[in-house]
Amino acid sequence: MTDYVTALQEAIRFMRKHDRFLIVTHVNPDGDTTSAALACALLLEDLGKSYCIVNEGETPEKFSFLPRFSSIKDLSKDIFTETFSHVIAVDAADYKRMGDVPRLFADDVNILNIDHHPTNDLFGQINVVRADAAATVEIMFELLKAGEFTLNEQLAACIYTGLLTDTGGFRYANTSPNVLKIASELLGYGIKPGELAERCLEEITLAHILLLRRALQTLKITHRKLTASLQVTRDDMREAGASGEDTSGLVNYCRNIEGVEIGVFFHETGENQIKVSFRSRASADVAQIAKELGGGGHARAAGCTIVGSLAEAEAIVFEKISEALGVQADE
């Protein structure tokens, strides 16, 4: 058996053996981590186990159609009276990605780490990590098969949603034969692909558009037109009535410009705190750039947080991009 198949078996043993679990999604949760957590919850229910799903903050309302969504807790708002010895982390590339949630961990904690990020540092006691999986839900599907769980419409909706969001609607380079094979099987369980795509990918909030209007005023084309970037300040967020969720997708406008290799989005999330999102088109490894700045991700999509002003963050990021592309920012 390969290490991966062995790890899947260990994960199933872990879920069968213990009774109560903490399922953790990553900070700024997306469709994949949320869907993977809910799929995990459904599998645990199937085994007669109890669980608590926690994110360090809010989980986007747009995923509220998913089964058990209302059971996801917000560490910053909800009250917790217990600690957990058995933790399942989904779609978190490293320990830091769980944010403040580890404060709920017991001293004797055992972590099952299920993830598909190439930058995953194997922080669990059990690590089910496959970097060539398109999404963590793809691994959840393999776990479900390996454990001989029964697939149903609710599980199918979770897994399909994670695939849909992490492949950008089956468009990104990670859309493998396996992804489409799984999607095809899931459609046999009565889920509605048009409705799911509408909810996850098409529908945008008014705040998002108002924020885009402001962000576009900051558009910068640098590095011989190979880089495009946008910025959003806390004032922009306030005036657009936007929450963090409304910034999602803004970075794609940069990357989508003809000829641009790297798209960058700078988001001032606090005093001297800048969240930076990267997207690349074909060759630049933005995971490497993000990792050098204390973040992580995938070759085509990555992110990090920089301490400093917007201007300082821009200078640091542009320098890293110059090194990666071999082109000065002002050329």
**Smallest distance, Å, CB 233 to Mn ion?**
28
Q: Which is nearer to Mn ion, 91 or 246 (CB)?
A: 91
Length of the chain: 331
Rounded distance, CA 163 to CA 76, Å? 28
Hey, what amino acid is at 220? K
Among the listed ranges 12-20, 37-45, 136-144, 313-321, the one in contact with Mn ion (CB under 5 A) is: 136-144
Pick from 166, 261, 268, 314 the residue near Mn ion by CB under 5 A.
166
Asked if residue 55 lies in contact with residue 74, where contact means CB atoms within 8 angstroms, the answer is: yes
Among the listed ranges 105-113, 134-142, 185-193, 264-272, the one in contact with Mn ion (CB under 5 A) is: 134-142
Closest CA to 12 of 159, 105, 144: 144
Rounded distance, CA 161 to CA 197, Å? 8
Among the listed ranges 160-168, 183-191, 211-219, 245-253, the one in contact with Mn ion (CB under 5 A) is: 160-168
- Dihedral of CA 242/248/252/254: which sign? positive
**Smallest distance, Å, CB 216 to Mn ion?**
28
Q: Interface with Mn ion includes 32 (CB under 5 A)?
A: yes
Among the listed ranges 57-65, 130-138, 226-234, 247-255, the one in contact with Mn ion (CB under 5 A) is: 130-138
Q: Interface with Mn ion includes 261 (CB under 5 A)?
A: no
Q: Which two tokens stand for residue 237?
A: 């967020």
**Smallest distance, Å, CB 1 to Mn ion?**
25
Ranges within 176-215 binding Mn ion (CB under 5 A): none
Q: Residues touching Mn ion: how many (CB under 5 A)? A: 5
Q: Interface with Mn ion includes 91 (CB under 5 A)?
A: yes
Q: Which is nearer to Mn ion, 133 or 226 (CB)?
A: 133
**Smallest distance, Å, CB 100 to Mn ion?**
21
State which residue has the least CB distance to Mn ion. 32
DSSP for 44-79, written as a single string: HHHTT-EEEEEESSPPPGGGTTSTTGGGEEETTTS-
Beta strands in 68-201 (DSSP E): 72-74, 84-90, 105-115, 126-129
**Smallest distance, Å, CB 166 to Mn ion?**
5
Closest CA to 36 of 14, 53, 21: 53
Q: Which is nearer to Mn ion, 130 or 267 (CB)?
A: 130
Residue 32: CB atoms within 10 A of its CB come to 27
Contacts to Mn ion by CB under 5 A: 32, 91, 135-136, 166
